[in-house]
Amino acid sequence: MVSVLVERLEKVFPPNTYALRDVSVEIRDGEFLVVLGPSGSGKTTFIRCIAGLETPTKGRILFGDEPVVDVEKGVFVPPAKRNVGMVFQNWALYPHMKVFDNIAFPLKIKKLPRHEIQRRVKEVAEALEIAHLLDRYPRQLSGGQQQRVAIARALVKEPQVLLMDEPFSNLDARLRISAREFVKGLQRKLKITTILVTHDQHDAYALADRLMVINNGEVQQIGTTDEVLNNPANLFVAQFFGDPPINVVEGEGRGEYVDLGDLKIPVKAPEGKLQVGIRPTDVYVAEAPLSPNDVALPPARVKLVEYLGFTPIAVVTWGKTELRAVAYGKAAEGGTVKVFLKPEGVKLFRDGKRIR
């Protein structure tokens, strides 16, 4: 396997559309990096540049110590010679070929001996538990089985790097969970350097050793899921990553507290207008504080109770100020409840930049 170093990568599409701006990241040998961003953020362009399917405008990419792209020096290694495996969003299986031939296709292109092709296909099919499907056509397979065939085709060539572009988006919710577990276990077993791009934050929770959040072609933050969740670099990251979504309220810094109008938050804050971010897990409804450091807020009215999974979330209000809070105690719509705050969880932003 191999590490991947991306330095100051830029991609401009004519006439003047920036898909990537000054992207730099090192993916360690055997690491699972998830690239997370909304549609149009540049994440697919990023892995296409690594695969060699796009030519960068600036920057360089190294596999280990070997450059596969160096725009300034005129280096560009073609895709076929980069030894990467790629799994696309739609899996791109050949409908007229049986599973065996779909998996074997990249080996046939390399003109490997027939016995070597059979050995590799059998080996990867057994590892992915699809050996019994080798004589079927893609139309005879379920979505999950088709996905495994696409992964097998990417792995059979024994790539240095595995690239995955939204590989779970065509699966239903229950199958996505098992597919994530399968991919994670496979990557751990093979210790292959893997880059997966997605807009679904649940992929990041389930898979990432590290996470790269990207927006408008620019890297917003790189870190573990805990680092990105608990210490977002800016307001975009805070709002894009986290489930349930973070509360963001306009406020005024008053030195010893933040004024939200109908609610005062007891945390130190610089003077002036701020955006206050509080995750629903850091403000909660209960009969008593869960920690001695948590502080009591004034009683609030329950506007609405909703469930995210098995977690009840109460929308609580103080006049015009509204927050979503995890409900550990009883919360009846229209009733009044006790609300507590974890002060260390309060995040302050100014003009979208993190200041606390």
What is the distance between the alpha carbons of residues 345 and 333, in angstroms, rounded to a whole number?
Answer: 26
Average per-residue pLDDT for the chain: 94
Q: Which of 229, 237, 271, 234 is nearest to 251 (CA)?
A: 271
Backbone angles phi, psi at 107, to 5 degrees: -75, -35
Which pLDDT does position 88 carry in this prediction? 85
8 Å CB contact between 129 and 162:
no
Which pLDDT does position 110 carry in this prediction? 87
pLDDT tens digit string along 223-255? 999 999 999 999 999 999 998 999 999 999 999
Which pLDDT does position 169 carry in this prediction? 82
* Residue ranges of domains in the chain: 4-240, 247-354
- The yes-or-no verdict on residue 138 having pLDDT over 80 is yes
State the amino acid at position 241 in one-letter form: F
Name residue, tokens 């302050």. 348
pLDDT tens digit string along 70-99? 999 999 999 989 999 999 888 789 999 999
235: Cβ–Cβ under 8 A, 6 or more apart, which residues?
A: 248, 275, 277, 349, 352, 353, 354
- The yes-or-no verdict on residue 22 having pLDDT over 80 is yes
With respect to CATH, is domain 247-354 assigned 2.40.50.140? yes
The mean per-residue pLDDT over the stretch 28-40 comes to: 96
- Rounded to the nearest 10 degrees, the angle between the axes of helix 99-109 and helix 143-155 is 20
Backbone angles phi, psi at 136, to 5 degrees: -100, 165
DSSP 319: T
Share of the chain above pLDDT 70, in %: 100
8 Å CB contact between 288 and 346:
no
What is the distance between the alpha carbons of residues 99 and 135, in angstroms, rounded to a whole number?
Answer: 6
pLDDT tens digit string along 303-346? 999 988 788 999 999 999 999 999 998 899 999 999 999 999 99
In the chain, DSSP finds a helix count (H) and a strand count (E) of: 8, 22
Q: Which CATH class is domain 4-240?
A: alpha beta
